[in-house]
Amino acid sequence: MDMDAFFAAVEERRRPELRGKPVVIGGSGDPTQRGVVSTASYEARKYGIHSAMPLQTAYKLCPHAVFLPVDYDEYSRVSSVIKEALREISPVMEDVGIDEAFLDISDIQKSSELIALEIKEKIRARTGLTCSVGIASNKLLAKIASDLQKPDGLTILSDADVEKLIWPLPVRKLWGVGPKTEGHLRKMKITTIGDLAKIPLEGLIEHFGTSYGNYLFEASHGIDKAPLVTHWEPKSASRETTFQTDTDDWQVIARCLAGLVRDVVDDIREKGYRGKQITVKIRFSDFETHTRATTLKEPTDNLELIRKAAFFCLGKFEMKKKVRLVGVRAGLSKG
């Protein structure tokens, strides 16, 4: 299950006057300032606007779009309502992200289609939002299926459909195939999943090594044996900020870091964790990015200790250039 244009849909639901207009969610909501698009409504996507695009570019593509800031607290709240509804349908759920989850429905004595309709109806009744559901024999295929008929989609994929429906898709649709692999494959004249499936396993291992070669071979044939991960521990908590204008003012950088540390500590306390490894990230005006890390004697959620560690890391940077972005991360352990 994957929600449709999630952040934008939440905003449209609470402000019905936005319906049908191009809506872009990102950064502080001011498209003349720095920041990237978190998501765009389907109306806004018609103008070529998409996630991760600079807000200023989105503004050029569609100046009359409605630009709104990210209200993460509200989206998290709606996300919890959705996850609860899904758990009622099947307790075997893998929570993948804010708007996405896998459900194991193999033990439910109903047709796949009925279950899918029930999922869509429950989510619509509790949140007023639409989602897209993909049903298949494994996570890899279910994820691809959920994307085939967005928005408000329902796609049931049998293993026999792989050749007809999956093979024509670009290789990027496979999990774990990023721009780098895509480029590498393009040089081998492989652009679709079907092209990839025609390469013998040995050939893929030769080019990509045993582990990734095997993965590409299986994935291109629709094979995925990974089980659902129904419980996971957060491994880290992090925050970062991009300055409106690059700065070499140490006071500004320090104040920013202190604020980020406070947010991270709030986060780890709320979840009942403790931080051990503290990392500070600095991106300079030319996008060169460095990290400095330190490990605390023992895991803690003490603000002072974590702040001290973060400033110790900050002190290890050579500030030769203006700073564009500051970030902090705490590696976590339980209790």
Judged by beta carbon, residue 2 or residue 301, the one nearer ligand TTP is: 2
Q: Is 133 among the residues that bind Mg ion (CB under 5 A)?
A: no
Token representation of residue 131: 């989602």
List, in sequence order, the alpha helices (H) in 128-163: 139-148
Binding residue for ligand TTP, selected from 6, 59, 67, 215, defined by CB under 6 A: 6
Q: Is 151 among the residues that bind ligand TTP (CB under 6 A)?
A: yes
Q: Clarify whether 318 is annotated catalytic.
A: no
**DSSP code of 199?**
S
Write down the catalytic residue from 11, 12, 43, 100.
100
Q: Is 7 among the residues that bind ligand TTP (CB under 6 A)?
A: yes
DSSP string, 59-105: HHH-TTSEEE---HHHHHHHHHHHHHHHHHH-S-EEEEETTEEEE--
| Least distance (Å) between residue 150 CB and ligand TTP | 5
- Residue 86's φ and ψ, nearest 5 degrees, are -65, -40
Looking at 2-10, 121-129, 262-270, 306-314, which segment touches ligand TTP (CB under 6 A)? 2-10
Name which of ligand TTP, Mg ion, none residue 98 binds, using a CB cut-off of 5 to 8 Å depending on partner kind.
ligand TTP
Interaction residues for ligand TTP, span 29-68 (CB under 6 A): 38-39, 51-52
CA atoms within 13 A on the CB side of 20: 2
Q: Is 99 among the residues that bind Mg ion (CB under 5 A)?
A: yes
Binding residue for ligand TTP, selected from 5, 44, 68, 268, defined by CB under 6 A: 5
Q: Is 3 among the residues that bind Mg ion (CB under 5 A)?
A: yes
Judged by beta carbon, residue 3 or residue 257, the one nearer Mg ion is: 3
Q: Is the dihedral of CA 296, 302, 305, 309 positive or negative?
A: positive
User: Which residue pairs, CB below 8 angstroms and at least 24 apart, start in 296-301?
Assistant: 299/274, 299/275, 299/332, 299/333, 300/274, 300/275, 300/276, 301/265, 301/268, 301/269, 301/273, 301/274, 301/275
SS3 294: strand
Q: Is 128 among the residues that bind ligand TTP (CB under 6 A)?
A: no
Interface residues with ligand TTP (CB under 6 A) are 2-7, 38-39, 51-52, 98-99, 150-151
Instruction: Give the catalytic positions in this structure.
Output: 100
Interface residues with Mg ion (CB under 5 A) are 2-3, 6, 99
